[in-house]
Amino acid sequence: MPIRDLAIGFDADDTLWHNENIFEHVHVRYRTLLSRFHDADTVDRTLFATEMRNLERYGYGVKGFTLSAIETAIELSAGQISADEIRQILQLGQDMLAHPVELLDGVADVIGPLASAHRLLLITKGDLRDQERKLSKSGLSVHFSHIEIVSEKDPTTYERILRRHGVAPQRFLMVGNSLKSDILPVLALGGSAAYVPYAITWGAEKVDTLPKAEGRFFQLASVRDVPALAQILATS
Amino acid sequence: MPIRDLAIGFDADDTLWHNENIFEHVHVRYRTLLSRFHDADTVDRTLFATEMRNLERYGYGVKGFTLSAIETAIELSAGQISADEIRQILQLGQDMLAHPVELLDGVADVIGPLASAHRLLLITKGDLRDQERKLSKSGLSVHFSHIEIVSEKDPTTYERILRRHGVAPQRFLMVGNSLKSDILPVLALGGSAAYVPYAITWGAEKVDTLPKAEGRFFQLASVRDVPALAQILATS
Protein backbone atom coordinates (compact mmCIF):
# COMPACT_ATOMS: atom_id res chain seq x y z
CA MET A 1 0.00 0.00 0.00
CA PRO A 2 1.30 3.45 -0.84
CA ILE A 3 2.30 5.74 2.00
CA ARG A 4 0.26 8.90 1.86
CA ASP A 5 1.20 12.19 3.41
CA LEU A 6 0.39 12.37 7.11
CA ALA A 7 1.05 15.41 9.29
CA ILE A 8 1.33 14.83 13.03
CA GLY A 9 0.61 17.48 15.62
CA PHE A 10 2.10 17.19 19.09
CA ASP A 11 0.94 18.90 22.22
CA ALA A 12 3.89 19.87 24.45
CA ASP A 13 3.17 20.08 28.21
CA ASP A 14 2.62 16.58 29.63
CA THR A 15 2.85 15.08 26.14
CA LEU A 16 6.50 15.74 25.28
CA TRP A 17 7.75 16.92 28.67
CA HIS A 18 6.62 16.87 32.30
CA ASN A 19 4.63 19.92 33.40
CA GLU A 20 1.71 19.11 35.67
CA ASN A 21 4.06 17.50 38.21
CA ILE A 22 5.82 20.87 38.55
CA PHE A 23 2.47 22.53 39.28
CA GLU A 24 1.67 19.75 41.77
CA HIS A 25 4.90 20.39 43.60
CA VAL A 26 4.20 24.14 43.65
CA HIS A 27 0.71 23.46 45.02
CA VAL A 28 2.25 21.61 47.94
CA ARG A 29 4.50 24.58 48.77
CA TYR A 30 1.54 26.96 48.30
CA ARG A 31 -0.68 24.98 50.69
CA THR A 32 2.08 24.99 53.31
CA LEU A 33 2.47 28.74 52.92
CA LEU A 34 -1.26 29.28 53.58
CA SER A 35 -1.69 26.52 56.15
CA ARG A 36 -1.91 28.97 59.04
CA PHE A 37 -5.06 30.43 57.43
CA HIS A 38 -6.86 27.46 55.85
CA ASP A 39 -6.78 23.71 55.27
CA ALA A 40 -5.33 22.29 52.03
CA ASP A 41 -8.75 21.57 50.54
CA THR A 42 -9.99 25.12 50.90
CA VAL A 43 -6.72 26.47 49.51
CA ASP A 44 -6.93 24.20 46.44
CA ARG A 45 -10.57 24.92 45.81
CA THR A 46 -10.23 28.70 46.14
CA LEU A 47 -7.11 28.87 44.00
CA PHE A 48 -8.81 26.86 41.26
CA ALA A 49 -11.87 29.15 41.42
CA THR A 50 -9.62 32.22 41.10
CA GLU A 51 -7.80 30.67 38.15
CA MET A 52 -11.06 29.91 36.38
CA ARG A 53 -12.39 33.42 37.05
CA ASN A 54 -9.18 34.92 35.62
CA LEU A 55 -8.73 32.52 32.70
CA GLU A 56 -10.36 34.76 30.09
CA ARG A 57 -8.28 37.68 31.36
CA TYR A 58 -4.89 36.02 31.89
CA GLY A 59 -4.96 33.02 29.60
CA TYR A 60 -2.92 29.89 30.37
CA GLY A 61 0.56 29.76 31.79
CA VAL A 62 2.80 30.42 34.75
CA LYS A 63 2.43 34.22 34.92
CA GLY A 64 -1.37 34.07 35.14
CA PHE A 65 -1.09 31.26 37.69
CA THR A 66 1.25 33.36 39.86
CA LEU A 67 -1.07 36.39 39.74
CA SER A 68 -4.05 34.19 40.66
CA ALA A 69 -2.07 32.60 43.50
CA ILE A 70 -1.25 36.04 44.96
CA GLU A 71 -4.89 37.14 44.64
CA THR A 72 -6.08 33.96 46.37
CA ALA A 73 -3.56 34.33 49.20
CA ILE A 74 -4.77 37.86 49.94
CA GLU A 75 -8.38 36.69 49.85
CA LEU A 76 -7.87 33.58 52.00
CA SER A 77 -5.81 35.45 54.60
CA ALA A 78 -8.33 38.31 54.71
CA GLY A 79 -5.45 40.64 53.98
CA GLN A 80 -3.24 39.20 56.75
CA ILE A 81 -0.66 37.64 54.47
CA SER A 82 2.73 39.34 54.74
CA ALA A 83 4.76 40.93 51.96
CA ASP A 84 7.44 38.35 52.59
CA GLU A 85 4.96 35.51 52.02
CA ILE A 86 3.83 37.14 48.77
CA ARG A 87 7.48 37.38 47.76
CA GLN A 88 7.64 33.61 48.29
CA ILE A 89 4.69 33.16 45.90
CA LEU A 90 6.48 35.29 43.29
CA GLN A 91 9.44 32.99 43.83
CA LEU A 92 7.29 29.89 43.25
CA GLY A 93 6.39 31.32 39.83
CA GLN A 94 9.97 32.17 38.99
CA ASP A 95 11.09 28.68 40.03
CA MET A 96 8.54 27.19 37.65
CA LEU A 97 9.85 29.34 34.79
CA ALA A 98 13.41 28.27 35.56
CA HIS A 99 12.58 24.59 35.96
CA PRO A 100 14.54 22.19 33.74
CA VAL A 101 12.63 20.47 30.97
CA GLU A 102 12.30 16.74 31.53
CA LEU A 103 11.20 14.77 28.52
CA LEU A 104 8.62 12.04 29.02
CA ASP A 105 9.77 8.48 28.64
CA GLY A 106 10.10 7.49 24.99
CA VAL A 107 9.98 11.00 23.52
CA ALA A 108 13.71 11.21 22.81
CA ASP A 109 13.52 7.86 20.99
CA VAL A 110 10.49 8.39 18.77
CA ILE A 111 10.43 12.07 17.73
CA GLY A 112 13.49 11.93 15.47
CA PRO A 113 12.40 8.85 13.47
CA LEU A 114 8.82 10.22 13.27
CA ALA A 115 10.16 13.49 11.86
CA SER A 116 11.97 11.60 9.10
CA ALA A 117 8.73 9.97 7.97
CA HIS A 118 6.13 12.68 8.58
CA ARG A 119 5.72 16.42 8.88
CA LEU A 120 5.58 17.30 12.60
CA LEU A 121 3.80 20.33 14.06
CA LEU A 122 4.08 21.45 17.65
CA ILE A 123 0.78 22.92 18.87
CA THR A 124 0.74 24.23 22.42
CA LYS A 125 -0.96 26.84 24.54
CA GLY A 126 0.47 28.95 27.37
CA ASP A 127 2.83 31.87 27.81
CA LEU A 128 4.57 32.65 24.53
CA ARG A 129 8.05 33.11 25.94
CA ASP A 130 7.80 30.27 28.46
CA GLN A 131 6.73 27.76 25.82
CA GLU A 132 9.50 28.91 23.48
CA ARG A 133 12.03 28.59 26.28
CA LYS A 134 10.88 25.07 27.16
CA LEU A 135 11.00 24.02 23.52
CA SER A 136 14.49 25.40 23.22
CA LYS A 137 15.61 23.64 26.41
CA SER A 138 14.02 20.38 25.20
CA GLY A 139 16.31 20.17 22.19
CA LEU A 140 13.35 19.00 20.10
CA SER A 141 12.76 22.13 17.93
CA VAL A 142 14.77 20.78 15.03
CA HIS A 143 12.25 17.99 14.49
CA PHE A 144 9.22 20.26 14.05
CA SER A 145 8.50 21.97 10.75
CA HIS A 146 6.16 24.42 12.47
CA ILE A 147 5.68 25.68 16.01
CA GLU A 148 2.26 27.06 16.92
CA ILE A 149 1.82 28.65 20.34
CA VAL A 150 -1.84 29.56 20.70
CA SER A 151 -4.06 31.11 23.34
CA GLU A 152 -6.80 28.46 23.10
CA LYS A 153 -7.05 25.03 21.46
CA ASP A 154 -10.52 24.82 19.94
CA PRO A 155 -11.72 23.65 16.51
CA THR A 156 -11.28 27.18 15.06
CA THR A 157 -7.63 27.25 16.15
CA TYR A 158 -6.88 23.83 14.62
CA GLU A 159 -8.75 24.74 11.42
CA ARG A 160 -6.68 27.89 11.03
CA ILE A 161 -3.41 26.01 11.65
CA LEU A 162 -4.24 23.18 9.24
CA ARG A 163 -5.33 25.65 6.55
CA ARG A 164 -2.18 27.69 7.01
CA HIS A 165 0.01 24.64 6.48
CA GLY A 166 -2.11 23.06 3.74
CA VAL A 167 -2.99 19.96 5.76
CA ALA A 168 -6.33 18.22 5.17
CA PRO A 169 -7.91 17.19 8.51
CA GLN A 170 -8.23 13.64 7.11
CA ARG A 171 -4.45 13.51 6.84
CA PHE A 172 -3.81 14.90 10.31
CA LEU A 173 -3.11 13.06 13.56
CA MET A 174 -2.98 15.01 16.82
CA VAL A 175 -1.13 13.52 19.81
CA GLY A 176 -1.80 14.85 23.29
CA ASN A 177 -2.74 14.27 26.90
CA SER A 178 -5.82 16.50 27.04
CA LEU A 179 -9.13 15.20 25.70
CA LYS A 180 -10.51 18.73 25.86
CA SER A 181 -7.69 20.56 24.07
CA ASP A 182 -5.92 17.96 21.94
CA ILE A 183 -8.46 15.31 21.06
CA LEU A 184 -12.08 16.53 20.86
CA PRO A 185 -11.48 19.62 18.67
CA VAL A 186 -9.43 17.61 16.17
CA LEU A 187 -12.02 14.81 15.99
CA ALA A 188 -14.69 17.49 15.43
CA LEU A 189 -12.82 18.63 12.32
CA GLY A 190 -12.61 15.08 10.94
CA GLY A 191 -9.01 14.46 11.94
CA SER A 192 -7.51 11.59 13.92
CA ALA A 193 -6.32 11.83 17.50
CA ALA A 194 -4.07 9.80 19.79
CA TYR A 195 -4.79 10.31 23.47
CA VAL A 196 -1.78 9.58 25.66
CA PRO A 197 -2.91 10.27 29.24
CA TYR A 198 -0.50 11.82 31.71
CA ALA A 199 -0.45 10.72 35.35
CA ILE A 200 -2.15 13.95 36.49
CA THR A 201 -4.78 16.04 34.69
CA TRP A 202 -5.41 19.69 35.59
CA GLY A 203 -9.03 20.36 36.62
CA ALA A 204 -9.72 22.71 33.72
CA GLU A 205 -8.77 20.03 31.18
CA LYS A 206 -10.89 17.22 32.61
CA VAL A 207 -13.51 15.52 30.43
CA ASP A 208 -15.75 12.79 31.78
CA THR A 209 -16.22 10.38 28.91
CA LEU A 210 -14.00 9.12 26.16
CA PRO A 211 -14.99 10.21 22.66
CA LYS A 212 -16.39 7.78 20.10
CA ALA A 213 -14.95 8.14 16.61
CA GLU A 214 -14.31 4.78 15.06
CA GLY A 215 -10.99 4.51 13.31
CA ARG A 216 -10.01 8.06 14.28
CA PHE A 217 -9.67 7.99 18.06
CA PHE A 218 -6.92 6.01 19.73
CA GLN A 219 -5.86 5.75 23.34
CA LEU A 220 -2.20 4.90 23.72
CA ALA A 221 -0.25 3.92 26.81
CA SER A 222 2.90 5.70 25.68
CA VAL A 223 4.24 8.01 23.00
CA ARG A 224 6.29 4.95 21.99
CA ASP A 225 3.12 3.64 20.30
CA VAL A 226 2.75 6.65 18.01
CA PRO A 227 5.08 5.48 15.18
CA ALA A 228 3.11 2.25 14.66
CA LEU A 229 -0.18 4.15 14.64
CA ALA A 230 1.22 6.75 12.24
CA GLN A 231 2.34 4.03 9.87
CA ILE A 232 -1.12 2.46 9.87
CA LEU A 233 -2.78 5.84 9.22
CA ALA A 234 -0.26 6.75 6.53
CA THR A 235 -0.95 3.57 4.60
CA SER A 236 -4.71 3.53 5.03
CA MET B 1 4.78 52.13 -13.97
CA PRO B 2 3.52 48.70 -13.05
CA ILE B 3 2.40 48.15 -9.47
CA ARG B 4 4.44 45.38 -7.92
CA ASP B 5 3.42 43.32 -4.98
CA LEU B 6 4.15 45.03 -1.65
CA ALA B 7 3.38 43.51 1.74
CA ILE B 8 3.02 45.88 4.67
CA GLY B 9 3.65 44.88 8.28
CA PHE B 10 2.08 46.89 11.06
CA ASP B 11 3.12 46.99 14.67
CA ALA B 12 0.10 47.24 16.99
CA ASP B 13 0.73 48.96 20.37
CA ASP B 14 1.27 52.71 19.85
CA THR B 15 1.14 52.26 16.08
CA LEU B 16 -2.49 51.23 15.56
CA TRP B 17 -3.83 51.91 19.04
CA HIS B 18 -2.82 53.78 22.18
CA ASN B 19 -0.88 51.70 24.72
CA GLU B 20 1.97 53.57 26.37
CA ASN B 21 -0.44 56.23 27.67
CA ILE B 22 -2.25 53.47 29.60
CA PHE B 23 1.07 52.42 31.18
CA GLU B 24 1.82 56.10 31.95
CA HIS B 25 -1.46 56.43 33.76
CA VAL B 26 -0.80 53.23 35.70
CA HIS B 27 2.65 54.52 36.65
CA VAL B 28 1.03 57.61 38.19
CA ARG B 29 -1.25 55.43 40.33
CA TYR B 30 1.68 53.17 41.22
CA ARG B 31 3.86 56.08 42.36
CA THR B 32 1.03 57.37 44.53
CA LEU B 33 0.61 53.93 46.07
CA LEU B 34 4.31 53.83 47.01
CA SER B 35 4.70 57.52 47.86
CA ARG B 36 4.83 56.84 51.59
CA PHE B 37 7.99 54.79 51.04
CA HIS B 38 9.87 56.58 48.23
CA ASP B 39 9.83 59.52 45.83
CA ALA B 40 8.49 59.11 42.28
CA ASP B 41 11.94 59.02 40.72
CA THR B 42 13.17 56.14 42.88
CA VAL B 43 9.93 54.23 42.25
CA ASP B 44 10.22 54.66 38.47
CA ARG B 45 13.88 53.76 38.40
CA THR B 46 13.51 50.66 40.58
CA LEU B 47 10.45 49.41 38.71
CA PHE B 48 12.26 49.77 35.39
CA ALA B 49 15.29 47.91 36.77
CA THR B 50 13.02 45.07 37.97
CA GLU B 51 11.30 44.90 34.58
CA MET B 52 14.63 44.69 32.77
CA ARG B 53 15.91 42.01 35.18
CA ASN B 54 12.72 39.98 34.59
CA LEU B 55 12.37 40.56 30.84
CA GLU B 56 14.05 37.34 29.78
CA ARG B 57 11.92 35.44 32.29
CA TYR B 58 8.52 37.11 31.81
CA GLY B 59 8.68 38.56 28.31
CA TYR B 60 6.67 41.62 27.33
CA GLY B 61 3.13 42.44 28.39
CA VAL B 62 0.80 43.34 31.22
CA LYS B 63 1.15 40.15 33.29
CA GLY B 64 4.92 40.41 33.52
CA PHE B 65 4.60 44.12 34.29
CA THR B 66 2.20 43.38 37.16
CA LEU B 67 4.48 40.72 38.64
CA SER B 68 7.46 43.11 38.43
CA ALA B 69 5.39 45.89 40.02
CA ILE B 70 4.52 43.65 42.99
CA GLU B 71 8.14 42.55 43.37
CA THR B 72 9.31 46.19 43.29
CA ALA B 73 6.71 47.27 45.85
CA ILE B 74 7.87 44.61 48.30
CA GLU B 75 11.49 45.58 47.74
CA LEU B 76 10.96 49.37 48.02
CA SER B 77 8.81 49.04 51.14
CA ALA B 78 11.31 46.64 52.74
CA GLY B 79 8.41 44.23 53.21
CA GLN B 80 6.16 46.84 54.83
CA ILE B 81 3.65 47.04 51.98
CA SER B 82 0.23 45.67 53.01
CA ALA B 83 -1.72 42.90 51.33
CA ASP B 84 -4.41 45.42 50.49
CA GLU B 85 -1.90 47.60 48.65
CA ILE B 86 -0.68 44.57 46.70
CA ARG B 87 -4.29 43.85 45.85
CA GLN B 88 -4.44 47.34 44.39
CA ILE B 89 -1.42 46.57 42.19
CA LEU B 90 -3.15 43.40 40.96
CA GLN B 91 -6.12 45.63 40.18
CA LEU B 92 -3.93 48.03 38.17
CA GLY B 93 -2.93 45.09 35.97
CA GLN B 94 -6.50 43.89 35.56
CA ASP B 95 -7.62 47.42 34.66
CA MET B 96 -5.00 47.54 31.93
CA LEU B 97 -6.23 44.22 30.51
CA ALA B 98 -9.81 45.50 30.54
CA HIS B 99 -8.95 48.88 29.06
CA PRO B 100 -10.84 49.84 25.88
CA VAL B 101 -8.82 49.93 22.67
CA GLU B 102 -8.47 53.46 21.30
CA LEU B 103 -7.26 53.66 17.72
CA LEU B 104 -4.68 56.30 16.87
CA ASP B 105 -5.80 59.17 14.72
CA GLY B 106 -6.02 58.20 11.06
CA VAL B 107 -5.87 54.41 11.56
CA ALA B 108 -9.59 53.85 10.94
CA ASP B 109 -9.34 55.82 7.68
CA VAL B 110 -6.24 54.28 6.14
CA ILE B 111 -6.19 50.59 7.07
CA GLY B 112 -9.19 49.55 4.98
CA PRO B 113 -8.01 51.20 1.73
CA LEU B 114 -4.44 49.93 2.35
CA ALA B 115 -5.77 46.39 2.74
CA SER B 116 -7.49 46.62 -0.66
CA ALA B 117 -4.22 47.48 -2.35
CA HIS B 118 -1.64 45.48 -0.37
CA ARG B 119 -1.26 42.42 1.78
CA LEU B 120 -1.23 43.52 5.41
CA LEU B 121 0.48 41.64 8.27
CA LEU B 122 0.10 42.47 11.92
CA ILE B 123 3.35 41.83 13.80
CA THR B 124 3.28 42.49 17.53
CA LYS B 125 4.90 41.30 20.73
CA GLY B 126 3.36 40.90 24.18
CA ASP B 127 0.98 38.59 25.98
CA LEU B 128 -0.67 36.24 23.50
CA ARG B 129 -4.20 36.52 24.85
CA ASP B 130 -4.00 40.25 25.60
CA GLN B 131 -2.84 41.11 22.08
CA GLU B 132 -5.55 38.91 20.54
CA ARG B 133 -8.14 40.57 22.73
CA LYS B 134 -7.00 44.06 21.75
CA LEU B 135 -7.00 43.15 18.09
CA SER B 136 -10.50 41.78 18.42
CA LYS B 137 -11.70 44.91 20.25
CA SER B 138 -10.04 47.12 17.62
CA GLY B 139 -12.26 45.77 14.83
CA LEU B 140 -9.21 45.75 12.54
CA SER B 141 -8.58 41.97 12.25
CA VAL B 142 -10.52 41.65 9.01
CA HIS B 143 -7.95 43.81 7.21
CA PHE B 144 -4.94 41.65 8.06
CA SER B 145 -4.15 38.51 6.10
CA HIS B 146 -1.86 37.27 8.89
CA ILE B 147 -1.49 37.96 12.58
CA GLU B 148 1.88 37.27 14.15
CA ILE B 149 2.22 37.60 17.92
CA VAL B 150 5.85 37.03 18.80
CA SER B 151 8.00 37.04 21.92
CA GLU B 152 10.76 39.22 20.44
CA LYS B 153 11.08 41.36 17.31
CA ASP B 154 14.58 40.81 16.00
CA PRO B 155 15.90 40.08 12.49
CA THR B 156 15.46 36.31 13.00
CA THR B 157 11.79 36.78 13.86
CA TYR B 158 11.11 38.95 10.81
CA GLU B 159 13.06 36.60 8.57
CA ARG B 160 10.96 33.66 9.75
CA ILE B 161 7.69 35.56 9.24
CA LEU B 162 8.61 36.79 5.76
CA ARG B 163 9.76 33.32 4.71
CA ARG B 164 6.58 31.77 6.06
CA HIS B 165 4.43 34.11 4.00
CA GLY B 166 6.63 34.11 0.90
CA VAL B 167 7.48 37.81 1.10
CA ALA B 168 10.86 39.04 -0.20
CA PRO B 169 12.35 41.63 2.21
CA GLN B 170 12.76 43.99 -0.78
CA ARG B 171 8.98 43.97 -1.19
CA PHE B 172 8.22 44.49 2.50
CA LEU B 173 7.45 47.70 4.36
CA MET B 174 7.22 47.66 8.16
CA VAL B 175 5.32 50.43 9.93
CA GLY B 176 5.86 51.04 13.63
CA ASN B 177 6.72 53.36 16.49
CA SER B 178 9.77 51.52 17.83
CA LEU B 179 13.11 51.99 16.11
CA LYS B 180 14.46 49.03 18.06
CA SER B 181 11.68 46.53 17.34
CA ASP B 182 9.99 47.69 14.14
CA ILE B 183 12.58 49.57 12.12
CA LEU B 184 16.19 48.43 12.68
CA PRO B 185 15.64 44.65 12.31
CA VAL B 186 13.68 45.12 9.07
CA LEU B 187 16.28 47.47 7.59
CA ALA B 188 18.93 44.91 8.54
CA LEU B 189 17.15 42.34 6.35
CA GLY B 190 17.00 44.71 3.38
CA GLY B 191 13.38 45.73 3.84
CA SER B 192 11.85 49.19 4.07
CA ALA B 193 10.55 50.76 7.26
CA ALA B 194 8.28 53.67 8.15
CA TYR B 195 8.90 55.08 11.60
CA VAL B 196 5.83 56.80 13.03
CA PRO B 197 6.85 58.00 16.50
CA TYR B 198 4.35 57.90 19.34
CA ALA B 199 4.20 60.67 21.95
CA ILE B 200 5.84 58.44 24.60
CA THR B 201 8.52 55.73 24.17
CA TRP B 202 9.09 53.04 26.78
CA GLY B 203 12.65 53.02 28.13
CA ALA B 204 13.39 49.53 26.83
CA GLU B 205 12.54 50.55 23.24
CA LYS B 206 14.66 53.71 23.14
CA VAL B 207 17.36 54.10 20.48
CA ASP B 208 19.59 57.15 20.33
CA THR B 209 20.16 57.79 16.66
CA LEU B 210 18.02 57.50 13.57
CA PRO B 211 19.12 54.81 11.13
CA LYS B 212 20.61 55.64 7.74
CA ALA B 213 19.25 53.57 4.86
CA GLU B 214 18.67 55.69 1.80
CA GLY B 215 15.39 55.03 0.05
CA ARG B 216 14.38 52.46 2.66
CA PHE B 217 13.94 54.40 5.91
CA PHE B 218 11.15 56.94 6.25
CA GLN B 219 10.00 58.95 9.23
CA LEU B 220 6.34 59.88 9.00
CA ALA B 221 4.31 62.26 11.14
CA SER B 222 1.18 60.13 10.95
CA VAL B 223 -0.12 56.78 9.77
CA ARG B 224 -2.11 58.88 7.29
CA ASP B 225 1.10 59.21 5.26
CA VAL B 226 1.52 55.44 4.83
CA PRO B 227 -0.72 55.01 1.73
CA ALA B 228 1.27 57.55 -0.30
CA LEU B 229 4.56 55.94 0.72
CA ALA B 230 3.21 52.47 -0.06
CA GLN B 231 2.17 53.62 -3.50
CA ILE B 232 5.63 54.99 -4.23
CA LEU B 233 7.29 51.77 -3.05
CA ALA B 234 4.83 49.60 -4.97
CA THR B 235 5.58 51.38 -8.24
CA SER B 236 9.34 51.64 -7.76
How do residues B76-91 score in pLDDT, each as one tens digit? 999 999 999 999 999 9
CA of B73: which chain A residue's CA is closest?
A83
Instruction: State the pLDDT at residue A160.
Output: 95
Phi, psi of A89, deg, nearest 5: -70, -40
3-state secondary structure of B217: strand
Q: In this complex, do A84 and B87 lie within 8 Å of one another by their Cβ atoms?
A: no
What is the Cα–Cα distance from A107 to A118, expressed in whole angstroms? 16
A65 touches chain B (CB under 8 A): no
Nearest to B190 by CA among B214, B226, B206, B225: B214
User: Which of the residues B58, B92, B94 would you substitute to probe the A interface, choosing the one with the greatest number of A C-beta atoms within 10 Å?
Assistant: B58
Phi, psi of B174, deg, nearest 5: -105, 135
User: Which of the residues B57, B121, B129, B149 would you substitute to probe the A interface, choosing the one with the greatest number of A C-beta atoms within 10 Å?
Assistant: B129
Q: Is B26 left (phi over 0), alpha (psi -120 to 50) or beta?
A: alpha
Residues of A in contact with B166 (CB under 8 A): none
pTM of the model: 0.92
Instruction: State the pLDDT at residue A3.
Output: 55
Mean pLDDT, chain A, integer? 94
Residues of chain A with pLDDT under 50: 1
Residues of A in contact with B59 (CB under 8 A): 127-130
Residues of A in contact with B83 (CB under 8 A): 73-74, 77, 79-83, 86
Q: In this complex, do B57 and A90 lie within 8 Å of one another by their Cβ atoms?
A: no
Q: In this complex, do B84 and A66 lie within 8 Å of one another by their Cβ atoms?
A: no
How do residues B101-149 score in pLDDT, each as one tens digit? 999 999 999 999 999 999 999 999 989 999 999 999 999 999 999 999 9
Helices (H) and strands (E) in chain A, counts: 9, 6
B4: pLDDT strictly greater than 70: no
User: Which of the residues A53, A58, A65, A144 would you substitute to probe the B interface, choosing the one with the greatest number of B C-beta atoms within 10 Å?
Assistant: A58
Task: Give, for B172, the enclosing helix (H) or strand (E).
Answer: strand B172-176
Question: Which residues have C-beta within 8 Å of that of residue A120, sequence separation ≥ 6?
Answer: A7, A8, A9, A10, A111, A114, A143, A144, A145
Nearest to B127 by CA among A164, A165, A151: A151
How do residues B48-59 score in pLDDT, each as one tens digit? 999 999 999 999
Phi, psi of B20, deg, nearest 5: -65, -30
Instruction: State the pLDDT at residue B212.
Output: 87
pLDDT band at B1 (very low <50, low <70, confident <90, very high): very low
Residue type, A162: L
Instruction: State the pLDDT at residue B66.
Output: 98
Instruction: State the pLDDT at residue A1.
Output: 46
Residues of B in contact with A70 (CB under 8 A): 70, 86, 90
A86 touches chain B (CB under 8 A): yes
Mark out the alpha helices in chain B (DSSP H runs).
20-34, 40-58, 62-76, 83-98, 107-117, 128-138, 155-164, 184-188, 226-234
Instruction: State the pLDDT at residue A52.
Output: 96
B157 touches chain A (CB under 8 A): no
Option in B82, B97, B149 nearest A128 (CB): B149
A67 touches chain B (CB under 8 A): yes
Superfamily (CATH H level) for A7-17+101-234: HAD superfamily/HAD-like (3.40.50.1000)
Find the mean pLDDT for residues B60-86.
97
For residue A190, the distance in angstroms to the closest alpha carbon of chain B comes to 25
**ipTM score:** 0.91
Size of interface A-B (CB pairs under 8 A): 89
How do residues B178-221 score in pLDDT, each as one tens digit? 999 999 999 999 999 999 999 888 877 888 788 988 899 999 99
What is the Cα–Cα distance from A89 to A136, expressed in whole angstroms? 26
How do residues A56-110 score in pLDDT, each as one tens digit? 999 999 999 999 999 999 999 999 999 999 999 999 999 999 999 999 999 999 9
Nearest to B67 by CA among B41, B96, B102, B39: B96
CA of A76: which chain B residue's CA is closest?
B83
A74 touches chain B (CB under 8 A): yes
What is the Cα–Cα distance from B120 to B126, expressed in whole angstroms? 19
Instruction: State the pLDDT at residue B3.
Output: 55
B235: pLDDT strictly greater than 50: yes
B2: pLDDT strictly greater than 60: no
Q: In this complex, do B132 and A151 lie within 8 Å of one another by their Cβ atoms?
A: yes
For residue B216, the distance in angstroms to the closest alpha carbon of chain A comes to 30
Option in B67, B127, B150 nearest A90 (CB): B67
What is the Cα–Cα distance from A115 to B54, expressed in whole angstroms? 35
3-state secondary structure of B173: strand
What is the Cα–Cα distance from A188 to B23, expressed in whole angstroms? 41
Supply the CATH classification number for the domain A20-98: 1.10.150.240
User: Which of the residues A127, A145, A157 would you substitute to probe the B interface, choosing the one with the greatest number of B C-beta atoms within 10 Å?
Assistant: A127
B154 touches chain A (CB under 8 A): no
B90 touches chain A (CB under 8 A): yes
How do residues B132-141 score in pLDDT, each as one tens digit? 999 999 999 9
Q: In this complex, do A57 and B97 lie within 8 Å of one another by their Cβ atoms?
A: yes
Option in B63, B83, B130 nearest A74 (CB): B83
Question: Domain map of chain B by residue range?
Answer: 7-17+101-234, 20-98
Q: E strands along chain A, which residues?
A: 7-10, 119-125, 146-150, 172-176, 192-195, 217-219
- Contact predicate B50/B71, CB 8 Å: yes
Residues of B in contact with A149 (CB under 8 A): 128
What is the Cα–Cα distance from B10 to B13, expressed in whole angstroms? 10
Instruction: State the pLDDT at residue A4.
Output: 65
Residues facing residue B173 across a β-bridge = B8, B192
B81 touches chain A (CB under 8 A): yes
